[in-house]
Amino acid sequence: MATIELTQGNLESTIKDNDILLIDFWAGWCGPCKSFAPVFEAASEKHPSVTFAKCDTEAEQMVASQFGIRSIPTLAIFREQILLYSQPGALPESALEELIGQVTSLDMEEVRAKVAEAQAQEAAGAGQDQDA
């Protein structure tokens, strides 16, 4: 599968409608982005069950802002609408393949349980702050 263009208009549906989503945040003037692009594109051809999206941070500044992009390229990975990974830097093919393997093999019930636990702790902490 080739990559798709991620925009403000399709952001929500792209995250919601795809089990595994990798997003490459890039810009045309960025040298490391240009060197990562063929690696990302090759991975998209190798993994047809995974959705690969590219977001031009110059054209889609609102989307880049929503993700807190400060350095490019940045790779973000979602699985079942949960952001699992977001790191700047151009990855070599082997590292990208390893990440895809890790995300694919995750036990998402366990991940959701950990997310719920963290949210509960955060909510309990917020309640304590209000009591003080």
d(CA 25, CA 74): 5
One-letter amino acid at 56 equals D
Do the beta carbons of residue 90 and residue 35 sit within 8 Å?
yes
Residues assigned a catalytic role: 30, 33
In total, the chain counts a number of residues equal to 132
Cα atoms in the Cβ-side hemisphere of radius 13 Å centred on 121: 6
DSSP-assigned beta bridge partners for residue 24: 54, 75
Residues with Cβ within 8 Å of 90's Cβ and at least 6 positions away in sequence, in order, are: 32, 33, 35, 36, 39, 73
